[in-house]
A = this chain, B = another copy of it.
């Protein structure tokens, strides 16, 4: 099982690298500097957690991989754009990401800004241009889902709350509200889009998926906070300990590391329970919940 999951994960990750390489404009296509920077920001990066969730949810709804890879690429481009913008001097001012210089360090600030802007547009272009659902109306709903997750009531809104929270103590409910937007919304969109690429699900299955996505999204952030507080920069591939240095409230500062770990474990159990209506089709989603909460980097 463990070995089988690792092999599935590796194959999805490799497939995503191929797909993103193909879908991003070539580094020699004009404007070449922008396109090279978009590729730098997106390729060879990260664990591809959102694409993995997208593929796992698509397995639960019987979706074709040719559709899933497009939906997953769109979500990953939104994620990659958010990192390029987050790292800018006016935001987190970070110089290291995925073990490499951040986009504005490798290129320049204006290019990093445009990289994010253009990746966001490309994500929506992909969702609209390729056939991802049997009914175009369903596909329009998928566009709306991603847009809502990315916008002021989702990821960008979470960033804004994060900015205002710096230097403050937040209680757990406020932290949750922030992270449900900042990272949770896009993770949820990855699951919804993946499922949407396949056949329609019963209401109970859809509700279970949504609850799963919410729990996993939050658990992901709780574990991130624990790792940021405990791991080293070398292991993470990004600057460790920066949350506390920047005075950002985290689940570790609110709960302590031990209780934060317990909270993540509770969320994992909730996520697994929520998958009950999906039966065996939710196997990869279960494995991913374990992977996300039990990971060490």
User: Across the two chains, which residue of chain B brings its CB closest to A112?
Assistant: B90
Binding site for B on A (CB under 8 A): 25, 30-31, 33-35, 38, 81-82, 85, 88, 90-91, 108-111, 113-114, 116-118, 120-122, 124-125, 127-129, 135-137, 139-141, 143-144, 146-148, 150-154, 156-157, 159-161, 163-164
Chain B residues with Cβ below 8 Å from A148 are 121, 125
| A-B contacts, 18 listed (Cβ < 8 Å) | A25-B152, A25-B153, A31-B161, A31-B164, A33-B160, A35-B152, A38-B152, A82-B117, A114-B152, A114-B156, A117-B120, A121-B148, A122-B152, A128-B144, A128-B147, A129-B147, A136-B139, A139-B140
CB within 8 A of A88: which of B81, B113, B118, B159? B113
| A151 x B136 contact (CB < 8 A) | no
Q: A128-B141, A152-B25 are in contact. Are A114 and B35 (CB under 8 A)?
A: no
Could you tell me the distance between the alpha carbons of A139 and B135 in the complex, rounded to whole angstroms? 12
| A140 x B136 contact (CB < 8 A) | yes
Chain B residues with Cβ below 8 Å from A91 are 110, 113
User: Across the two chains, which residue of chain B brings its CB closest to A127?
Assistant: B143
Chain B residues with Cβ below 8 Å from A81 are 117
